[in-house]
Amino acid sequence: MSISKLVIFTDGASRGNPGPASIGVAIKDERGLLIDSISKAIGRTTNNQAEYRAIIAALERALSLEATHVDLRSDSELVVKQINGLYRVKKASLKPLYLKAAQLASQFKSFTITSIPREKNVEADKLANMALD
């Protein structure tokens, strides 16, 4: 299946920070129809590491769907600002995740990542929490 443009919602969850963690990803086409999702436990990690891992999983899935344009949305303001180059990545544990996300993002003809309020990220949040429960 090849879809030109995807709108992707991601969320990472960690109970305890660090603690048991999971990711949730809702992948939609331009019309807003859900075409794929990810709900997966990822072991013990921090909330920011989980947020990055959700983005990485989403971008890998988008590449497998042969998307060329990705509009990604996350409720993690820190991670969005780091990927957009507005904040430095200070924590050593986040640097390899940041580099992997940036490398994947560079493979699309166009890539945007936007910070959205938590209440607009309900689907991805639900998928992340389902994997933890």
Amino acid in the structure at residue 68: T
Q: How confident is the model at residue 1 (pLDDT cuts 50, 70, 90)?
A: low
- The dihedrals phi and psi of 118, each to the nearest 5 degrees, come to -50, -40
Q: What percent of the chain has pLDDT over 70?
A: 98
Would you call the peptide bond into 18 cis, given omega within 30 degrees of 0 as the criterion? yes
> What's the pLDDT tens digit per position in 37-90?
999 999 999 999 999 999 999 999 999 999 999 999 999 999 999 999 999 999
Asked whether the predicted pLDDT for residue 133 surpasses 90, the reply is no
Place of tokens 């590491």: 49
Q: Residue 3: what pLDDT?
A: 78
Q: How confident is the model at residue 2 (pLDDT cuts 50, 70, 90)?
A: low
Report angle CA 2, 126, 105 to the nearest 5 degrees: 40
Place of tokens 């200070």: 90
Least Cα distance to 17 among 56, 39, 55, 49 occurs for 49
Query: If you average pLDDT over every residue of the chain, what do you get?
Result: 96
Interval 23-35 mean pLDDT: 96
